[in-house]
Amino acid sequence: MAKRPVPDIVVGRLPIYLRELNYLVEERKFITSSQELADRLGFSSAQIRKDLSFFGEFGKQGAGYETLFLRDKLSEILKADRVWDIVLVGAGYLGHALASYGGFLGRGFRIAAIFDNDPDKIGRPIGGLVVQDSRELPQAIQDNGWQIAILAVPAAAAQEIADTLVASGIRAILNYAPRILNVPPGVRIQYIDPVIDLQHMTYYL
């Protein structure tokens, strides 16, 4: 898709642009500009233009961007134009919260299965799913071809489970456990770390 290698930090901003474009479309604003996007996001308009330029010419000089067109293009680039199955590991409080999270809907993801190693949790329904035994995880990943996992387990268990996930074919992990994980090259990992966002705000207090 891209004409030249795209820095990961640029890739990381594309979903933020996509989300904002979806808001613009919801607001029935069908034309936008790098300046408007910049104002809404707190980025610079030069950065937005530079980021988008990796992927081609999306706007006409002086005419701005068509929000629907740019949204569809970004969606395609991020492969958000399909529905990805996610395997959720951890059926504790966080797992419950994620299983019923409304934010996945219409944005390219669905929780396909939930696993836990706690006999008290296995077999119980969460949302529309039944918690499965973690021991069945490797086989289930292989059988279903799942590539994405969310880790919602205690920090002490996270690395061992990540190893199992990766060995079974998972290639992208979203980790909620407060612990840095080692994964082999070629496997992507992202961290949900609320402290990063909190410290971003305390700077201003």
The CB-of-21 to its own copies minimum distance in angstroms stands at 13
Tell me which residues in 147-176 interact with its own copies (CB under 8 A). Answer: 147-148, 150, 152, 154-155, 171-172, 174
Pairing state between β 84-89 and 129-130 = unpaired
Contact characters 1-20, its own copies, x per CB under 8 A: ------xxx-xx-xxx-xx-
DSSP letters along 124-143, please? -EETTEE-EEGGGHHHHHHH
Q: Which residue from 115, 180, 120 is spatially nearest to 150, judged by alpha carbons?
A: 115
Residues 59 and 49: their CA atoms lie apart, in Å, by 9
Q: Which residue from 165, 162, 169 is spatially nearest to 142, judged by alpha carbons?
A: 169
Using the contact rule CB under 8 A, the part of the chain among 61-69, 95-103, 115-123, 128-136 near its own copies is 95-103
- Contact positions toward its own copies, by CB under 8 A? 7-9, 11-12, 14-16, 18-19, 23, 42-44, 47, 77-80, 84, 86, 92-94, 96-98, 100-104, 107-109, 147-148, 150, 152, 154-155, 171-172, 174, 178, 180, 188, 190-205
